[in-house]
Structure 1
Amino acid sequence: MTIETTTTGVLVLILIMTLVTLATRFGGVLIMSFVRISPRIESFINTMASSVLIAIIVPMAFGGDAGALAALSVTAVTMLVLQKPLPAIAAGVFAAAAVRYLF
């Protein structure tokens, strides 16, 4: 399989990726509209955010640079202190940017 690198080929690829992204986003909302949100399902949804965060950050700890290690450390500490994923992600991104800018 070859991928066209012409302008038309790139635009077609972007269009396909856009359609797949929209289908998965809207499909998830559509499917979840038929599911009754019980406490067990709500707990699963809340836990998924942390799982995704860990799945993204941990592989970078083994093969990443100083910025990745700073992001991992700051994210872990912020998550332990605040117990909220969004501020932990923001702090990790800021730490990685700061380390990469300074060093």
Structure 2
Amino acid sequence: MARFEAATSIDGQRARVAMSGECDLSSREECTATLMAAVGAAPAVVVDLSALTFLDSSGVHALVTAHRAALAKGGRLSVVNPSGMVAHVLDLTGVGELLQPSRAGKAPEAGDG
């Protein structure tokens, strides 16, 4: 089993959270805490999932919770680079579409989240 890891970097008004390994029930608290800290640190949060190999409902819940917190602060959380099973889970749940990066000049919609 690949251990879950998350690394955050902040560059001005943008935080980047790079996740790797498996995001499941055993890593739920660490995942949620990392995402919420990023939301608290910057209005724009980009979550890079390129090295994430597994995502279950606990991880999906953490992403949606952080997304809602970002919207409540007038910010935005998006995911980039999901692949394989992780991309499939995001697509199946509709969360992949919800957390797509905003197109340039397009603000998040009030109904998102």
Please say whether Structure 1 and Structure 2 have the same fold, judged by a TM-score greater than 0.5.
Answer: no
* Structure with more contact order per residue of length (Cα contacts < 8 Å, sep ≥ 6): 2
Q: TM-score, normalised by structure 2?
A: 0.26
Q: TM-score, normalised by structure 1?
A: 0.28
Structure exhibiting the larger radius of gyration computed from Cα positions: 1
Give 1 or 2: higher helix fraction.
1
Give 1 or 2: higher strand fraction.
2
